[in-house]
Amino acid sequence: MLRTGRANPGILENIKLMAYNTPMDIKSVAAINVQDAQTMIVEPWDKSILTAVEKAIREADIGINPVIDGTIIRVVVPQMTEENRKQLVKRVREKIEESKIKLRAVRESVRDTVLDMEEKNEIAEDEKYKLLEEIDRLTKEFSNKIESIGEKKETDIMTV
């Protein structure tokens, strides 16, 4: 999850903490609610782990400073600076490239399967070419979707 300066429970959900001598996600031990655009409220179901949850959020190194407020933890998401926005856009571009690399790896795996099926005479040569064209078409379609989502996210990030 990429932090964009807006309160979103996804920022905190998968942070790990030790609760009951077991590593757990925050979402497994607490309710995470968005109070407003900048504030989230984390309410552990068992109040005895309140400080453990607060410590886990603080140590997650996501640039958020939680504050215990009675039986809840108040988390204010700071506004992003121009420098933070540029760093985030850079990370988005890295994620886009990683996604495209994974997509190409899947394409190669499926292509190898189709070629292997043809070698074993499980499919005809015509069907092989039809499947390879479909694989390439789907790869291009999903690659374009990845690009589109990335461009939209970059625009959202850079909009103040």
- Can you give the CATH number for the domain in which 130 is found? 1.10.132.20
| Backbone φ, ψ for residue 39 (5° rounding) | -125, 135
**Among 50, 76, 102, residue at a domain's last position:** 76
pLDDT in tens, 113-142: 999 999 999 999 999 999 999 999 999 999
Residues 65 and 18 in one domain: yes
CA distances from 27 to 7, 11, 45, 53, 67 (A): 15, 11, 10, 10, 18
The pLDDT of residue 9 is 84
Residues 37 and 19 in one domain: yes
- Can you give the CATH number for the domain in which 18 is found? 3.30.1360.40
Residues 127 and 70 in one domain: no
The pLDDT of residue 22 is 87
Please report which confidence band the pLDDT of residue 3 belongs to, taking 50, 70 and 90 as the band edges: low
The pLDDT of residue 14 is 82
> Could you list the residue range(s) of the whole structural domain that residue 40 is in?
10-76
For the ranges 8-17, 68-77, 108-117, which has the lowest average pLDDT? 8-17
What pTM did the predictor assign? 0.60
